[in-house]
Amino acid sequence: VREAFQRQRAFVADASHELRTPLTLLRGNAELLQMTAAAHLSSEDAQSFREIVRQTEQIERLISDMSTLARMDEGQLLLQPAPVDIGELLRSAAADARLLAAGKDMAVYLETDGDLRIAADETRVRELLLALVDNAVRYTPPGGTITLRATAADSHVEVSASDTGPGIPPEHIERVFERFYRVDPSRSREQGGSGLGLSIARAIAEAHGGSLTVSSKEGTGATFTLQLPRSGPPAASG
């Protein structure tokens, strides 16, 4: 059984790798044609080109997420812990949120308190925070607010990302961390998610020896809470 799983993981990793190059070429060519032919395209054709580029980007994201998970499963995603200031990372996540929310009438608040310096893999923690703010912006309708908070404790820091969106019904709440799980498949797919964001985010938190949880009251938004130990990932992951 172990061998079968191993073969399956290797297949996903190889397939992701092989798909990447033709897709990059596909997107590059579509973007080039879009630019060179812009003056001659009808508005329908221009729209079709935009759609090709958008869908290709979505497949690229999906492949990149699948290959990250395959490497995590293989134990090959080694973390590179170094001193990081979670306050700084959250400030840049708030800036990302404001960019993503541009034109959507949405307020983004940031509250940080205490000493937020820890040992962590900066790139992976940035990726985790981006997954949370990306979801918060995507699932919160215009007029909503997103609040990012970081607080310090002796042994760990806690980060929360709250939104005023539709929230998550209780029967779905734990399942949102499963791979490809979506509460409302048609709506989420339309909004462009891969369905892998939260499973990768939780795997990153756990690889650091931390946790990622969610609480929500349906209709009044969702709060994702990340805890990361100050001391960094356990020795085996670092």
Rounded to whole angstroms, how far apart are CA atoms 72 and 200? 9
Helix boundaries (H) for 146-231? 185-190, 197-207
Q: Does 139 bind ligand ADP (CB under 6 A)?
A: yes
Stretch that binds ligand ADP, among 87-95, 121-129, 152-160, 175-183 (CB under 6 A): 175-183
Smallest distance, ligand ADP to C-beta of residue 69, A: 11
* C-beta of 52 vs 183, nearer to ligand ADP: 183
Provide the token pair at 54. 């958008």
Rounded to whole angstroms, how far apart are CA atoms 218 and 166? 6
Among 116, 198, 204, 226, binds ligand ADP (CB under 6 A): 198
Q: Does 144 bind ligand ADP (CB under 6 A)?
A: no
Q: Does 159 bind ligand ADP (CB under 6 A)?
A: no
Which residue's Cβ has the minimum distance to ligand ADP?
193
Among 144, 165, 232, 233, binds ligand ADP (CB under 6 A): 165
Own/partner contacts of 95-104, CB < 8 Å, gap of 24 or more, are 96/130, 96/133, 96/134, 97/133, 97/136, 97/137, 97/146, 97/148, 100/133, 100/134, 100/137, 100/138, 101/137, 101/146, 104/137, 104/142
Stretch that binds ligand ADP, among 19-27, 76-84, 95-103, 181-189 (CB under 6 A): 181-189
Smallest distance, ligand ADP to C-beta of residue 77, A: 17
What lies within 8 Å, CB to CB, of 117 at 6+ separation is: 83, 84, 85, 86, 230
Sign (positive or negative) of CA dihedral 67, 192, 196, 101: positive
* C-beta of 13 vs 196, nearer to ligand ADP: 196
Smallest distance, ligand ADP to C-beta of residue 201, A: 7
The strand pairing partners of 80, in sequence order, are none
Rounded to whole angstroms, how far apart are CA atoms 83 and 89? 12
Q: Which residue has the tokens 């541009």?
A: 102
Q: Does 233 bind ligand ADP (CB under 6 A)?
A: no
Q: Does 183 bind ligand ADP (CB under 6 A)?
A: yes
Q: Which amino acid is at 161?
A: A
Smallest distance, ligand ADP to C-beta of residue 163, A: 5
* C-beta of 81 vs 144, nearer to ligand ADP: 144
Among 108, 150, 204, 222, binds ligand ADP (CB under 6 A): 222
| Residues in touch with ligand ADP (CB under 6 A) | 131, 135-136, 139, 163, 165-166, 168, 176, 181-184, 188, 193-199, 222
